[in-house]
A and B are shown apart, each in its own frame.
Chain A
Amino acid sequence: MRRAAIVAREINPTAVLGSVHSLQFGAVSMFLGTVRDLNDGRPVSSIEYSAYVSMAEAEMDQILAESEEKFGVRAIVVEHRVGLLELGEVSIAIATAHQHRRPALDATRFVIDEIKARVPIWKLERYADGTSDWVDPTKSDEAALP
């Protein structure tokens, strides 16, 4: 089970988890990215995500294939949302299942790190003061954060 999708609807984390879970796996790992209320000290009101959808889905699928190869996971799903997201909404869900915890956890971290580095998705942050900015991780320390 391997699935990578850009979606324009709300992400349902329970459904994403359910799509990887099976009796053969003793470990299911999930990462959720959510819209937070502050970035670089500026109060955020919402984020508009956009993507080069066909390439983003192909690149995410490639990352999942690499995680299968690297960590031996056989059930891995990612959904990334596009459109206008309010504070607290889920922008990305990654679920990974394996017989054991460590490969599941390692694969999940690998997938989110690679998505941040190489999948063509962008965010326009809208601030409480009415201004907005394209987020560019190459300009800040964000990319270096653990």
Chain B
Amino acid sequence: MSAVTVQLFASCAEFFGSPTLQISVSAGSTVGDLIAALRARPGAEFLPPSLRIAVNRKFAAPDQLVGPDDEVALIPPVAGG
């Protein structure tokens, strides 16, 4: 087992009360697993229903593998413009 550091922004950082979270991963862990783990954390009940994960600064599909060397971020609904 190892861990990935998930960067949090905007409402997600506020709800978790932190700019990052450590999530345990193993070989074969996917973006979908990461979202499930994040939703199981305390504070997650306030998260927006629509969440995306970015891996190495690109939006990632749920079946994409993710490991400790990846730059990972939780992306709540965007509202630029």
Spell out A's residues near B (CB within 8 Å).
33, 49-52, 54-56, 58-59, 80, 91-92, 112, 115-124, 134-139
Binary contact track B14-50/A, C-beta < 8 Å → 1, others 0: 1000000000000000000000000000000000111
User: Which residues of chain B have C-beta atoms less than 8 A from A121's C-beta?
Assistant: 78-81
- Complex Cα spacing A136 to B77, Å: 6
Does B68 have its Cβ within 8 Å of any Cβ on chain A?
Answer: no
Check if A134 sits within 8 Å of B9, measured CB to CB.
no
Does B65 have its Cβ within 8 Å of any Cβ on chain A?
Answer: no
Check if A120 sits within 8 Å of B9, measured CB to CB.
yes
Check if B11 sits within 8 Å of A115, measured CB to CB.
no
**Given contacts A55-B54, A134-B76, A138-B48, is CB(A50)–CB(B9) below 8 Å?**
yes
- Complex Cα spacing A50 to B81, Å: 12
**Given contacts A134-B10, A137-B79, is CB(A120)–CB(B73) below 8 Å?**
yes
- Complex Cα spacing A116 to B59, Å: 15
**Given contacts A50-B9, A50-B10, A52-B9, is CB(A123)–CB(B79) below 8 Å?**
yes
